[in-house]
């Protein structure tokens, strides 16, 4: 399994952090080429022509080097056209899109990412390197960084990071042992993916998270994930106080819950939506109830400051559906140096 201390050189290419559960010793740094990370993927090649990047004919807006815009977007079960679980019939968990439907959905996700007008987007529920590659191809060269936190289980829906900024390092944390309140041991249900970027000379370290779902709930595991994520981000902030450190994603819990209380317990992490009503920051509708499940945090011991007036939740047609073809809305926050 890849260890959290491993760092990879900058590449303007697709990076996929493949985790092999049977391997417990760190691979040498030069044994992993981010460009070829998807080579082990056995899914069919997407032979359709990629959609043109959204607004490709337009001149990109000027980027303010003193500001960083970050968004979290749960794309909702973006499976590739290969049945990895062996169970892809109607009603099964893993969906099996046709190559045409897969290409269409990849284009829809890429356009949704462009519409967020962000520099860094934390994604959830991307199945494989092939899925992320399809998105990345459609985003085009303006988004040189695409990193997948693949956990390697059949039909896993994983976290990823795409960014307009160059990649400096990748670290993974799923091999970290967690302890539930009852004393039993577990691990992160998905990868806690740590991606270091360079934004106009500024160091940015983004943690993409997707904590344990409330479906077939295991609240003790979700709490353990939050407690350990807080420890990891806090430790990195002490090591790298010059960097802007962010943690975000679908955390599957609401303000006031034990999960978010664990992240906010000592004030070291600042939630972008703190102080706003639950209704105003809701990102998911469950039987008519509006829930704030998607969040972005900044480490106070690191660099940067939140531009509170520019925090926003993006819905396509509130409250009928989420954002960009998903069942979740997207949350975007802006930070400045």
pLDDT per position as a tens digit, 24-40: 233 333 333 332 233 33
What is the residue range of 224's domain? 14-26+66-336
Looking at the DSSP bridge assignments, the partners of residue 172 are 193
pLDDT in tens, 167-225: 999 999 999 999 999 999 999 999 999 999 999 999 999 999 999 999 989 999 999 99
The predicted model gives 242-270 an average pLDDT of 97
- Alpha carbon distance 189, 210 (integer Å): 8
pLDDT recorded at residue 63: 76
pLDDT recorded at residue 61: 56
Structure-block tokens of residue 30? 């030069």
pLDDT recorded at residue 288: 85
SS3 labels along 171-232 = EECCCCCEECCCCCEECCCCCCEEEEEEECCEEEEEEEEECCCCCCCCHHHHHHHHHHHHHH
Q: Looking at the domain assignment, is residue 282 inside a domain?
A: yes
Q: Looking at the domain assignment, is residue 206 inside a domain?
A: yes
Look-up of token digits 């998270």: 209
pLDDT recorded at residue 64: 87
Enter the DSSP assignment of 325.
Answer: T
pLDDT recorded at residue 270: 98
Q: Looking at the domain assignment, is residue 60 inside a domain?
A: no
- Does residue 56 carry a pLDDT above 90? no
* Ramachandran class of 21: left when φ > 0, alpha when ψ lies in -120 to 50, beta otherwise: alpha
Q: Looking at the domain assignment, is residue 286 inside a domain?
A: yes
pLDDT recorded at residue 36: 27
- Alpha carbon distance 235, 119 (integer Å): 25
C-beta atoms surrounding 186 within 10 Å? 16
- Alpha carbon distance 5, 172 (integer Å): 8
Is the CB of residue 334 less than 8 Å from the CB of residue 296? no
Return all residues near 266 (Cβ < 8 A) that are at least 6 apart.
none
CATH number of the domain residue 107 falls in: 3.60.10.10
pLDDT recorded at residue 160: 98
Average pLDDT over the chain reads: 85
Structure-block tokens of residue 54? 């959204």
Q: Looking at the domain assignment, is residue 127 inside a domain?
A: yes
pLDDT recorded at residue 33: 32
Q: In 3-state terms, what secondary structure has residue 294? A: strand
pLDDT band for position 161 (cuts 50, 70, 90) = very high
- Alpha carbon distance 77, 215 (integer Å): 15
Report the candidate in 307, 335, 337, 253 with the shortest Cα–Cα distance to residue 70: 335
Is the CB of residue 211 less than 8 Å from the CB of residue 225? yes
Structure-block tokens of residue 204? 């940015």
CA distance to 16, 239, 241, 249, 295, per residue, from 203 (Å)? 21, 13, 10, 20, 21
The values of phi and psi at residue 6, to 5°, are -70, 140
- Does residue 264 carry a pLDDT above 60? yes
Q: Looking at the domain assignment, is residue 268 inside a domain?
A: yes
Q: Looking at the domain assignment, is residue 9 inside a domain?
A: no
- Alpha carbon distance 260, 252 (integer Å): 10
Q: Looking at the domain assignment, is residue 50 inside a domain?
A: no
* Ramachandran class of 225: left when φ > 0, alpha when ψ lies in -120 to 50, beta otherwise: alpha
- Does residue 53 carry a pLDDT above 80? no
- Alpha carbon distance 245, 299 (integer Å): 5
pLDDT recorded at residue 55: 46
**Counted domains in the chain:** 1
pLDDT recorded at residue 62: 66
pLDDT in tens, 104-153: 999 999 999 999 999 999 999 999 999 999 999 999 999 999 999 999 99
């Amino acid at each position: 399994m890849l260890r959290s201390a491993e760092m990879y050189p900058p590449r303007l290419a697709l990076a996929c952090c493949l985790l092999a559960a049977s391997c417990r010793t760190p691979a040498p740094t030069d044994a992993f080429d981010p460009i070829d990370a998807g080579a082990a993927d056995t899914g069919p090649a997407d032979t359709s022509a990629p959609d043109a990047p959204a607004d490709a004919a337009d001149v990109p807006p000027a980027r303010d080097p003193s500001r960083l815009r970050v968004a979290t977007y749960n794309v909702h079960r973006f499976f590739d056209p290969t049945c990895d679980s062996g169970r892809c019939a109607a009603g099964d968990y893993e969906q099996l899109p046709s190559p045409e439907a897969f290409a269409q959905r990849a284009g829809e996700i890429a356009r949704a990412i462009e519409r967020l007008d962000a520099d860094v987007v934390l994604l959830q529920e991307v199945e494989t390197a092939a899925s992320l590659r399809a998105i990345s191809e459609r985003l085009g060269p303006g988004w040189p960084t695409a990193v997948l936190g693949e956990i390697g289980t059949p039909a896993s829906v994983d976290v990823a990071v795409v960014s307009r900024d160059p990649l400096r390092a990748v670290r993974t944390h799923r091999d970290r042992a967690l302890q539930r309140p009852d004393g039993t041991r577990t691990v992160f249900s998905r990868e806690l993916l740590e991606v270091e970027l360079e934004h106009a000379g500024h160091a940015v370290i983004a943690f993409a998270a997707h904590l344990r779902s409330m479906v077939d709930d295991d609240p003790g595991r979700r709490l353990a994930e939050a407690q350990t994520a807080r420890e990891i981000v806090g430790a990195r902030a002490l090591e790298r106080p010059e960097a802007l450190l962010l943690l975000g994603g679908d955390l599957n819990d609401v303000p006031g819950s034990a999960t978010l209380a664990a992240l906010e317990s000592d004030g070291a992490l600042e939630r972008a939506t703190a102080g706003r009503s639950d209704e105003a920051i809701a990102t998911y509708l469950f039987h008519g109830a509006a829930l704030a499940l998607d969040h972005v945090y900044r480490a106070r011991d690191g660099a940067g400051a939140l531009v509170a007036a520019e925090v926003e939740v993006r819905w396509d047609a509130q409250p009928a559906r989420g954002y960009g073809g998903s069942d979740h809305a997207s949350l975007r926050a802006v930070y400045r140096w």
